[in-house]
Structure 1
Amino acid sequence: MKNTVKVIGTLVLVSLMFMVSCDKDTDPSETDLFVGTYEGDISFNNGEETIIDEDGRVTVAKAGDSYSFLFGSGIPDITGVKFEKDGNTYVGIGEGFTGIRITASSLNMLVTDDRGTWTADCSR
């Protein structure tokens, strides 16, 4: 019985995540959720190597009150980002994160820290 409840609970959770990430008309100011995958130009430079992907992906995930940006293409992830609302756009707050702007349909990023520089010009 416990396994059945776990399976049903997992299916419900996955279904909810899928519906939220696929709804392109949902504005983040209405739901405070802009998790999902954005596609477009991404890059990373750490002073020794540069990674550029014109067909890149960035997956935004939420844990508690902070967000993570999970890059493909061998680009390091960015974690622990918090946002404040600016109209229908959310802007990253905190040292190094002010260059992140995200809406329900777009992600623009210019972040620099001691690990390197990330850029993203993506949409979904």
Structure 2
Amino acid sequence: MRKFIQTLGLGMLILTAVISFTSCSKDDDPADNNLFIGKYEGKIAFDDLKDNSKDVPSGDGSITVTKTGNTYNFAFGNGIPNLNGVDFEEKDNVLVNIGSAGTGVIRIDAGKLTIGYTKDDKVWTADCQRK
């Protein structure tokens, strides 16, 4: 009986180790998972370079980040137009925008979202923390 319990305990230990090693993959690309999806709050602003009546001055607000396929969408509060279809690549566990029609930088990590982005004569800015 004692031998059976030792064998059973050893089997459970091996099973736990196998599950732990297979669930942690170094090939896990943050751009492929949902780590960065969620709500961020902080200072946000918008500037329409062609129509100043659409400008939104810097103030407290929120951004909800969603993912569709391989692109990310940013739903702004405070009446700021959404920024959609942004492509990213992973660099040191941070997502950095690439190959989009705009210029500037959008950086996301697990706790912070920073935006300084221009597209079609519109400028989005944000300095937000994950909530």
CA distance in structure 1 between the aligned counterparts of 2:122 and 2:104, rounded to whole angstroms: 15
Q: TM-score, normalised by structure 2?
A: 0.67
Amino acid of the structure 2 residue aligned with 1:35: I
Unaligned runs of 5+ in 2: 1-28
Counterpart in 2 of 1:96?
102
RMSD over aligned CA atoms reads 1.9
Counterpart in 2 of 1:87?
92
Runs of 4+ that moved beyond 4 A: none
Q: TM-score, normalised by structure 1?
A: 0.71
CA distance in structure 1 between the aligned counterparts of 2:105 and 2:114, rounded to whole angstroms: 8
Larger gyration radius, structure 1 or structure 2: 2
Unaligned runs of 5+ in 1: 1-27
Structure 1 residues 62, 112: CA separation in 2 closer, same or farther (over 3 Å shift)?
A: same
> Is 1:38 aligned with 2:44?
no
8 A contact 1:99–1:110 mirrored in 2: yes
1:6-31 CA distances to partner (integer Å, 9 max, x unpaired)?
Answer: xxxxxxxxxxxxxxxxxxxxxx8397
Identity of aligned residues (%): 43
